[in-house]
Amino acid sequence: MVAIPTTAHGVPSIKVSRNAINVRFADPPAVHDTRDLHKRAECGESIGSCSPGQCCSENGWCGTTGDFCGGPQCQLDYSDSCDTAKSPSGESTLGVDRSPLGTVPYGTEITQCTSPGTMALTFDDGPWEYTSMILDILADRGVKATFFVSGNNLGKGMIDDESTQWPSILRRMHSDNHHIASHTWTHRDLNQVNPDIRESEMVYNEMAFRNIFGWFPTYMRPPYAYCYWSTGCTDTVSALGYHIINMDIDTKDYLFTEPATIDNAKDRFASLFPTTAGDDGHIALAHDIHYQTVVNLTDYMIDLSLSRGYTLATVGGCLGDPEENWYRNADGGSSSSAETPALTPTPSPSVSPDQTCGDTAGYTCQGSAFGACCSYYGYCGASAAYCGTGCQAQHGSCDTLPSGLYTTANGLCGAQFDATCMSFVKWLPVGIQRAWGLPLNFQLLVSVG
Ligand SMILES: [Zn+2]
């Protein structure tokens, strides 16, 4: 058995920074003798929950500090006090109008800049103790970057807690004209959690931003860089009005956090985009929670990009999106709506307040927070399940479908829909009926035709 360093409580010693890494690709945790751990563990599957006020850690120990309650490792099923479950102060932002802003696409993953010859450097998982340093470096170099902020990961406390350094760091980030985007509240994998947690991971982060700035972002990057349509993730973040940003250059800096290894991240960066700027623009991923990234990799990325003829830009900037669209005022509209006259549409029929749409419901999806498309079943949404086969164009927007026979977007097929189910493979994640109100017979329809 491998010896595991332990704390006074016999808990395997886990450095806080471990929560920060992309777990999916990270070094595996230290090898445990699981039989031994289960014998001694205090909480978890087949053992039970911690006492009220305590958190069940990844390895089954009850406690109240960041090691137990922080980030995605805290076991929600056996704890009542994980950071994930704690909301920032004030009213929920869920009721804020989510009308689409600008022309950058929603509901699809964006991995590259659209402005030719641009390079967007992006930094995830902060703010952290090195974030002020990277802001200094970027200021010295005159470079604007994009920060995907996690509001309460790593057991660091809430970013809107004025007794911490986080609010002032974020205010400086904004006043330095960097682009601030969301990376969820506690860095949970949005594909793995239930719809309620998926939503609170986005909304709690919004509330913290609202408490600091009065607005919250319209751009997000999913933790671990995955947000699948099949799990409901794409629908959730799109319905909340977020652009989904990933990257085409992954430095994997979280694997190379030592002076002796950081050159591997540099080599990856150098090898993943053309040596001469051309028609393409690129989005590079690194993390401002790693010291070597901040003091070593960042200057390298700036120097190499410039030497290859690229223009360094923010994500919003390199997608041609005006800055007022990067943020949504907590009272609705874009961040500049206070200065611009509000449009006063008089929709008829009314915009759906509860996701229902169509003749019976009497609502349109155009302008609905749930998405602009009215599905065959009479529900508003933004994905192909709503905008594709059977979509009701008279009650909202629909995808433009090619003429002739095409592959169904949602299981509806046959002559009536000019669609085939031959290539349709789909599974419904647990909870989707609760989350999206799909009819119970939806799964049966999938196999018909
Ligand atoms: Zn992350």
CA of 170 to the centre of ligand 1 (A): 17
Confidence of residue 412 (pLDDT cuts 50, 70, 90): low
Sequence-ordered list of residues with C-beta below 8 angstroms from that of 425, at least 6 positions apart, any chain: none
124 carries an active-site annotation: yes
CA of 140 to the centre of ligand 1 (A): 26
Q: What's the pLDDT tens digit per position in 11-59? A: 333 333 333 333 333 333 444 444 445 557 899 999 999 999 999 999 9
Active-site residue among 67, 83, 124, 125? Answer: 124
Taking 60 as the threshold, does the pLDDT of residue 447 lie above it? no
Superfamily of domain 109-329: Glycoside hydrolase/deacetylase (3.20.20.370)
- Range 281-298 average pLDDT: 98
CA of 4 to the centre of ligand 1 (A): 26
Structure token digits, residue 171: 């205010």
pLDDT of residue 361: 84
CA of 240 to the centre of ligand 1 (A): 20
Least confident among 78-92, 319-333, 418-432: 418-432
Least confident among 112-116, 190-194, 367-371: 367-371
Segment 391-397 long-range contacts (CB within 8 Å, at least 24 positions apart):
392/357, 392/358, 395/357, 395/358, 395/359, 395/363, 395/364, 395/365, 395/366, 396/357, 396/364, 396/365, 396/366, 396/368, 396/372, 397/365, 397/366, 397/372, 397/373
Active-site residue among 243, 287, 290, 395? Answer: 287
Mean pLDDT of the chain: 83
pLDDT of residue 420: 60
Confidence of residue 367 (pLDDT cuts 50, 70, 90): confident
Q: What's the pLDDT tens digit per position in 293-345? A: 999 999 999 999 999 999 999 999 999 999 999 999 998 666 764 333 333 33
Taking 70 as the threshold, does the pLDDT of residue 371 lie above it? yes
CA of 125 to the centre of ligand 1 (A): 5
pLDDT of residue 254: 97
CA of 372 to the centre of ligand 1 (A): 30
Least confident among 52-61, 189-198, 371-380: 371-380
Confidence of residue 369 (pLDDT cuts 50, 70, 90): confident
CA of 289 to the centre of ligand 1 (A): 10
Q: What's the pLDDT tens digit per position in 431-444? A: 333 333 333 333 32
Confidence of residue 393 (pLDDT cuts 50, 70, 90): confident
SS3 of the chain = CCCCCECCCCCECCCHHHHHCCHHHCCCCCCCCHHHHHHHCCCECCCECCCCCCEECCCCCEECCHHHHCHHHCCHHHCCCCHHHCCCCCCCCCCCCCCCCCCCCCCCEECCCCCCCEEEEEEECCCCCCHHHHHHHHHHHCCCCEEEECCCCCCCCCCCCCCCCHHHHHHHHHHCCCEEEECCCCCCCCCCCCHHHHHHHHHHHHHHHHHHHCEEECEECCHHHCCCCCCCHHHHHHHCCCEEECCCEECCHHHCCCCCCHHHHHHHHHHCCCCCCCCCCEEEEEECCCHHHHHHHHHHHHHHHHHCCCEEECHHHHCCCCHHHCEEECCCCECCCCCCCCCCCCCCCCECCCCECECCCCEECCCCCCCCEECCCCEEECCHHHHCCCCCHHHCECCCCCCCCEECCCCCCEHHHCEECCCCCCCCCCCHHHHHCCCCCHHHHHCCC
CA of 183 to the centre of ligand 1 (A): 7
- Is the CB of residue 181 less than 8 Å from the CB of residue 146? yes
User: Is the pTM for the entire model greater than 0.75?
Assistant: no
Taking 50 as the threshold, does the pLDDT of residue 5 lie above it? no
Q: What residue ranges of the chain are covered by domains with CATH 3.20.20.370? A: 109-329
Least confident among 90-104, 260-274, 335-349, 371-385: 335-349
Taking 80 as the threshold, does the pLDDT of residue 449 lie above it? no
CA of 21 to the centre of ligand 1 (A): 7
CA of 223 to the centre of ligand 1 (A): 5
Taking 90 as the threshold, does the pLDDT of residue 88 lie above it? yes
High-pLDDT (> 90) share of the chain, %:
64
pLDDT of residue 18: 34
CA of 217 to the centre of ligand 1 (A): 16
**Tokens 């007794």 belong to which residue?**
163
Q: What's the pLDDT tens digit per position in 205-246? A: 999 999 999 999 999 999 999 999 999 999 999 999 999 999
C-alpha–C-alpha distance, residues 79 and 25, integer Å? 27
Least confident among 201-205, 241-245, 392-396: 392-396
- Range 65-79 average pLDDT: 94
Taking 70 as the threshold, does the pLDDT of residue 405 lie above it? no
Structure token digits, residue 133: 């340093």
Nearest to 390 by CA among 446, 322, 325, 308: 446
CA of 294 to the centre of ligand 1 (A): 16
- Pairing, β 311-313 against β 282-287: unpaired
CA of 285 to the centre of ligand 1 (A): 10
Q: What's the pLDDT tens digit per position in 163-193? A: 999 999 999 999 999 999 999 999 999 999 9
- Range 155-162 average pLDDT: 97
Confidence of residue 388 (pLDDT cuts 50, 70, 90): confident
CA of 246 to the centre of ligand 1 (A): 11
CA of 224 to the centre of ligand 1 (A): 6
High-pLDDT (> 70) share of the chain, %:
76
